[in-house]
Amino acid sequence: MNRFTFHRAPLARQPLVILGVIFLSLIASPAFGQSVEEKPPQDQQQPSIKIGTNLVIVPVIVTDRYGNFVTGLQRGDFALREEGSPQKIEDFSSTEAPFHVALLIDSSRSTQNKLDKIRKAALTFIKQLLPNDRVMVVSFDEKVRFVSGFTNNHAELERAIKSLKSSYLTSLYDAIHLTINEKMSRIPGRKAIVVLTDGVDTASKQATFESVIDLVASQGIITYAIQYETRNDGGPVMKPMFIPGISNSFAPRSSANWQEPAPQKPKPKPETKGEAKPPVSESEEAPPSSSLGSAPSTRVNSQQQQPIRDRYLIAADFLRTLAAQSGALHLRAENIENTSYAFHIIANELHNQYTLTYISTNEQRDGNYRAIAVRVKNPELVVRARRRYLAPKGEPSETEQNKKPNSEPER
């Protein structure tokens, strides 16, 4: 017994001594000290590219001539110009990068008899997204409600969607305005908005037709619009444009093709003016004084010439322009059942989308629109991307002015 206790004591001490020596040697070694010192420089270098500069985000879809998505492209396969001037692509996200998706659902009176089918279509869309994609559910009627935060928990999203209830009016413009400004503008990475609505705004107080279009143009968030028909519920029949098939959605010069049907659509009498897409927010339902938050516009059709336009034509103009401004699609469905197919098209696009980011060489903060052109090396491929963006206006903030010189040497 004594021998046993005698041998046990050295065995207990010996590992402690060895462990102590190893720990002290690790602290004293250069490698141990370097791992602690290398982290701060990395954290400091990341924002130096983005602060104090005009950062432009360009979502891009690439297909072959038959409409099949082309994946596997690298940064060097793309060329980008702004107003004809070449731009350096500072950041590149491939098709595998996750998304933050805001799903905006119209819950106004027009959805009263359709809400069950809307819920089903929305749930199907969420299931088609990738596991790392995060979704936020937003409903809008006379109020805008953030029903859930961004999450990839499908059970939580299902509860949010099943809790939707119909109300009365429609604050579509406010819903997009608040979603971007309060929930999405500060989120890094790839972002998308999907709006399911008939497009008729009757209650917005903080945003207008024009202000929302300008906001989307300045933020670079790709914004898809699914417009379902409600006119037939209580008015004369208006034949809708059917949802295009996937192959037809990406024909050569597709960004023009899915925006050009506008001139063919004005068959009703009210559409007599020459402009195909007049952004006339005041003619929705109220007099010009109802467009809160915007100064008197100098655009041709925003004052004086105020023909009474059909609200459904205004809705189609808005959603078409909204999608075109961000490089997305405007899909129209004759009924709610067709919206499931529209969601399928959008989910496919999100899975096969590139994101290019560049710092504009034009440092003027003039608040003007600037044209963007994206090309790929292979001339056989078809590219669809946002075609312009709204430059910032006014002097940069003190934070931008202080940090801007630090970023210039790295260019």
pLDDT, tens digit (0-9, with 9 covering 90-100), for 93-131: 888 889 999 999 999 998 888 899 999 999 999 999 999
Amino acid at 127: K
Among 207, 199, 8, residue whose Cα is nearest residue 104: 199
At 303 the pLDDT is 47
Domain co-membership, 25 together with 57: no
**pLDDT (average), residues 361-371:** 92
Domain co-membership, 303 together with 218: yes
**pLDDT (average), residues 368-394:** 93
Residues 284, 315: contact at Cβ < 8 Å?
no
At 308 the pLDDT is 57
Domain co-membership, 146 together with 286: yes
Which of the listed residues 327, 351, 375 is the one where a domain comes to its end? 351
At 310 the pLDDT is 84
pLDDT at 396 over 90: no
Read off the pTM: 0.68
Which of the listed residues 301, 336, 351 is the one where a domain comes to its end? 351
Among 152, 122, 190, 216, residue whose Cα is nearest residue 352: 190
DSSP state of 410: G
pLDDT at 388 over 90: yes
Domain co-membership, 389 together with 275: no
Note down the domain range covering 88. 45-93+355-410
pLDDT at 384 over 80: yes
At 15 the pLDDT is 46
Domain co-membership, 51 together with 185: no
At 275 the pLDDT is 40
Residues 357, 185: contact at Cβ < 8 Å?
no
Q: What are phi and psi of 100, to 5 degrees?
A: -105, 115
Separation CA 325–CA 117 (nearest Å): 29
At 291 the pLDDT is 32
Domain co-membership, 260 together with 385: no
Looking at per-residue pLDDT, the higher value among 402 and 181 belongs to 181
Looking at per-residue pLDDT, the higher value among 324 and 334 belongs to 324
Alpha-carbon torsion, ordered 59, 65, 68, 73, to 10 deg: -50
- Count structural domains, the chain: 3
Which of the listed residues 351, 370, 400 is the one where a domain comes to its end? 351
What the block records as the tokens of 244 is 């295009």
Domain co-membership, 247 together with 118: yes
pLDDT, tens digit (0-9, with 9 covering 90-100), for 11-69: 444 444 444 444 445 444 444 444 333 333 333 333 334 444 688 999 999 999 999 99
pLDDT, tens digit (0-9, with 9 covering 90-100), for 264-309: 434 444 444 444 333 333 333 333 333 333 333 334 344 455 555 7
Domain co-membership, 292 together with 373: no
DSSP state of 168: S
In 94-203, at which residue ranges do the beta strands (DSSP E only) sit?
99-106, 134-140, 144-146, 190-197
Domain co-membership, 288 together with 342: yes
Class of residue 381 by CB neighbours under 10 A (exposed 0-12, middle 13-18, buried 19+)? middle
Separation CA 371–CA 213 (nearest Å): 15
pLDDT at 178 over 50: yes
Which among 181-195, 239-253, 305-319 has the top mean pLDDT? Answer: 181-195
What the block records as the tokens of 153 is 């928990």
Beta-carbon contacts of 70 under 8 Å, excluding residues fewer than 6 positions away, are 62, 63, 64, 352, 381
Domain co-membership, 189 together with 278: yes
Domain co-membership, 304 together with 345: yes
CATH assignment of the domain containing 136:
3.40.50.410
Amino acid at 389: Y
pLDDT at 338 over 90: no
At 204 the pLDDT is 96
Domain co-membership, 148 together with 200: yes
Separation CA 334–CA 142 (nearest Å): 25
At 274 the pLDDT is 41
pLDDT at 216 over 50: yes
Q: What does pLDDT average to over the chain?
A: 74
